[in-house]
Amino acid sequence: MDINVQELKERLDKSDDSFILIDVREPHEHEEFNVGGQLIPLGSVPHELDDLEEHQDDEIVVYCRSGKRSGVAQSLMEQAGFKNVRNLEGGVLAWIDAYGTT
């Protein structure tokens, strides 16, 4: 099940640390604006799966610019046995539409 920007913002505002937030965009995109996720560019996701293995049963939220790359990351992670990976619907573009960049 995916997650929308409103639910993610509510959880971040409450300092909810029960999930892992991963930005699968490129470093320059992450530097321009991010919502606080750990940067793991999509091309690096397959190589980082071992490091994330301890979180296979944890909730993980992935995001990118529009939701496409994070959808690919979600699929890769699910194929590797991660059980609760959620894609941010609309990505950073939806976040900016709803909340701006501040």
Helices within 1-67 (DSSP H only): 5-13, 27-32, 45-52
Q: Is 68 a catalytic residue?
A: no
Counting beta carbons within 10 angstroms of the beta carbon of residue 86, is it exposed (0 to 12), middle (13 to 18) or buried (19 or more)? buried
Residue 68 CB partners (closer than 8 Å, separation 6+): 91
User: Which helix (DSSP H) or strand (DSSP E) does residue 72 occupy?
Assistant: helix 68-79
Which residue of the set 24, 42, 61, 64 is catalytic? 64
53 vs 14: CA distance, rounded Å: 26
- Cite the active site residues: 64
